[in-house]
A and B are shown apart, each in its own frame.
Chain A
């Protein structure tokens, strides 16, 4: 008898079909991972189990939890089940906690709402639970507010709330997607330990196959609201039946064919760069603090070189991008492109600016929604002394759109008519159209599904071969950086702690931080080894 049994679950929201005949089951103490790309319906499967579907939802099938069909259970009874027998952890720890309540009160609330203990016992128990998830009382008092904690710490609080009453089933919806790789590893370990210690069933929702492969007992692969394949982790991975599963696995570990880099002259020179930010006074008459975001950064990019930059959030990556693009000045050192300084005070030096372009992370935020593609991709023409006109302009637009795998007719469309991957192609077109010497990719593939990400990486490799691109590829994803760059910099706390040939750094990291990063990054299992 399974703890949770979902049979033939179908869901439609306001008439739109979302889920179709989804079936899966979880036993006590078992970790089941549901994986798939965006739009697969994996998160809504989890919300259906919690009885927290949005308004206008209609369901058929059954979700049986310990002999009880949750789909027909009354709301009042569901409230008694949620939090006590089924706990849930959400994706976004930054917003999952009430900002105006202390963390202690929020953890204790789970206990109090179910009338499990007296108020003082509940607080004592909340202390124990928080200690269990790695937030001991002496360092993280209950009186802390969410904004005083980091993302990883907040996720621990959310986990503490979910497990305070030792539920039989814990649902975790992308619990580590918003976290840094080292924090992710810690949270995954915590979840695994808790499932084991408390003998809980754990339903993990994640898009990351590497995470799945390393911790799940069973894997369920979903696509467009349907389960395409499921089974025990090892047998499923070693004997993938469905094409989609195979494609997903291949895309997750996708390697590109980067053309060889031939040694050449220095294009961008960053020398001893220091960037300080002032922070507000701590006390009434105290002096303003200084936060050093970049501390003595030095490196070169040679013409035709593909340089990677890895580091976790807050390490100074974005600050460095802005400094290189000449958008902000620096307090020390200098950045030169072809020997000319990139930052020239308030009035930008267009001669330098036109040699650089950037591609950003968010395929939804990086375009003005009110302009057509033609206007969007020609924005950098502003940098040219004599912008191309008429036929020349049209030729460049057509050529660039074709180069990034789009159709020239796409020029007259608005951005909302494109998918995330297509938008990233448009972003690349915007960067390419003035043929800059250097392109900065700022987390440019991080928001994409794995299959789309693989295509964009291939596109970059193609373009590198065609145009001999020079780029700086900034990412938190080590696996991507490994395949798309020649050389890599590792950044921590505003400093470059290690740099070298990409393959060299990844196979034999010198600095302890690099070693930690590489160890923490989830990797896909070697299928040959698994079979053998």
Chain B
């Protein structure tokens, strides 16, 4: 275990725990308005203060964590679920039309950054958390496909793959038995990174109103609401911002830490 991994694990666990806890307990009802108590700075009753409707920010942050994490998690799932098989397939048929087709399709999706996809989807189906998930998820597919293909191709050149072919195994079986276990480390690292990017993307989409719709709280929309009030109540912008930064940094540190931890070369060098 290295320092990055430990700090990363602590920070991301914090965010995940907050999200899980919010299902059974929050200090206040996160949608309950209390106009007389509006715009309080952090105090003993409202730990993170209240917003312009007097809602408890601590509770909103906890429930917002749920939205952020759920959107990013499902989006990463979509990316992995489709991207990994495509990447394995492309690597197994390297240089063939299948490979060419998959990679060109990937390039094409890369030309639509997730925000542009979100705009398109919103233009058609309207805004919402589900559409945000799809927009971020679609963009994750080529990321995983590329990573898997890039990592799988040198493995296909290794002699143990030839040995497996000599043992009569077909490409699909070799991909599952030999290729996938050897690219798994890389995928875990990439998944944590995409997870953190997903949280950033969800925040951005909610900020411009393309993400989760009211009354579902989300960190991005809390920031959008804070924008006009930032000069009189900076904590409205600071607290959701810190929540995003801490979660994203935690995931990134965990990714870096995992990369070092799972890489046998650096692990040996450390001991």
Contact = CB atoms under 8 A, between A and B. Distances in A.
Direct contact of A and B (CB under 8 A): yes
Interface of A: 325, 327, 348, 350, 353-354, 356-358, 360-362, 365-370, 376, 379-380, 382-383, 416, 430
Contacts of B264: 416
Nearest to A347: B170
B3 interface: no
A123 B182 CA distance: 48
14 contacts: A348-B168, A353-B166, A358-B162, A358-B166, A365-B159, A365-B160, A368-B160, A368-B182, A369-B182, A379-B167, A379-B169, A382-B168, A416-B264, A430-B163
B88 to A, nearest CB: 15
A383 B167 contact: yes
Contact of B162 (A353, A360, A380): A360
A429 to B, nearest CB: 12
A358 B168 contact: no
A361 B160 CA distance: 11
B160 A353 contact: no
A306 B201 CA distance: 64
A370 B182 contact: yes
A379 B163 CA distance: 8
Interface residues of B, number: 16
Contacts of B167: 353, 379-380, 382-383
Interface of B: 158-160, 162-169, 177-178, 181-182, 264
- State the majority secondary structure of interface residues on B: helix
Contacts of A358: 162-163, 166
A9 to B, nearest CB: 25
B160 A327 contact: no
The 4 closest A-B pairs by CB, nearest first: A366-B159, A360-B159, A379-B167, A370-B181
A388 to B, nearest CB: 15
B165 A350 contact: no
Contacts of A383: 167-168
Given A357-B166, A383-B168, 13 more contacts: A327-B162, A348-B168, A350-B168, A358-B166, A360-B163, A365-B160, A366-B163, A368-B178, A368-B182, A379-B163, A380-B166, A383-B167, A416-B264
A360 B264 CA distance: 24
B96 to A, nearest CB: 12
A327 B166 contact: yes
A376 B163 CA distance: 10
Contacts of B159: 360-362, 365-366
A382 B169 CA distance: 7
A274 to B, nearest CB: 22
A358 B164 CA distance: 10
A391 B262 CA distance: 36
B152 to A, nearest CB: 13
Contacts of B169: 379, 382
A361 B159 CA distance: 8
Contacts of B168: 348, 350, 353-354, 382-383
Nearest to B182: A370
A356 B166 contact: yes
A365 B166 contact: no
Contacts of A327: 162, 165-166
Contacts of A379: 163-164, 167, 169
A380 B163 CA distance: 9
B251 to A, nearest CB: 26
A358 B166 CA distance: 7
A350 B170 CA distance: 12
